[in-house]
Amino acid sequence: MKKIVILGAGCGGTMMANKLRRDLDPDDWSITIIDKDNVHYYQPGFLFVPFDINTPKEIRKSKREFLPTGVNFVISELVNVDWDKQEVTTATKGKFKYDILLMSTGCDIRPEEIEGLPDAWNKSAFGFYRYDDCQEMRKALKKFDGGKLVVNIAEMPIKCPVAPLEFAFLALSLLCPAPLPSRWQPVF
């Protein structure tokens, strides 16, 4: 039997596991997907939490419920990939041999890599690309009583290129619900 190992049970890894399980004979192929936890975050919903369009609870689900029968789901941190031996090592579940390895570990933001940003993070500078951050931004928007709101893209590539523009429009709608005076024009 040939073995497929997928690293990452986010959207990409889960879609691949579903497609491969549907298309490949289970007598010929085993499919294992490995992820550090069982919590799926619907990341597009992060943008909507600060505006009370989605609640934090609505954007969290079990990853297991999105995986088809016949896919082995392993919950453990990845420790090593041995390319020569064609095996991955996990922190708590041992080693897994593979014939085909799919890497779908996603990306994450790192505000700590931008000089000065860690001191301001979730105090006067906020993000919405992580679960905890979008909730902190929600709290900050509730307290916002005027001044300047700056939407900044600190570094490329970013997880969703259109999200900052969407955020700007949602913020404009929240902070200026009445028709804007003709002399006032938002700057994008």
Q: Where in the chain are the domains?
A: 2-103, 111-175
The mean per-residue pLDDT over the stretch 92-119 comes to 92
Query: b/e map of 9-24 (b: 16 or more CB within 10 Å)?
Result: bbbebbebbeebbeee
Q: CB-hemisphere CA count at 13 Å for 163?
A: 19
The CA radius of gyration of the chain, in Å to the nearest whole number, is 21
* CA atoms 71, 75, 81, 82: torsion sign: negative
> Do 64 and 20 contact (CB within 8 A), yes or no?
no
pTM attached to this predicted model: 0.80
- Per the DSSP assignment, residues forming a β-bridge with 96 are 88
- Residue 79: what pLDDT? 97
Q: Give domain 2-103's CATH superfamily.
A: FAD/NAD(P)-binding domain (3.50.50.60)
Question: How many C-alpha atoms does 169 have within 13 Å on its Cβ side?
Answer: 6
Instruction: Sort 186 into a burial class: Cβ within 10 Å, 0-12 / 13-18 / 19+.
Output: exposed
User: For the segment 123-157, what is each residue's pLDDT rounded down to a tens digit?
Assistant: 999 999 899 999 999 999 999 988 888 887 766 66
Q: What is the pLDDT of residues 22-36, one digit of tens each?
A: 999 999 999 999 999
| Residue of 173 and 183 predicted with greater confidence | 173
What is the average per-residue pLDDT within 77-81?
A: 97
Q: Which two tokens stand for residue 15?
A: 């879609």
- Going by the DSSP 8-state scheme, the letter that residue 123 receives in this structure is T
What's the CA gap between 70 and 29, in Å, rounded? 10
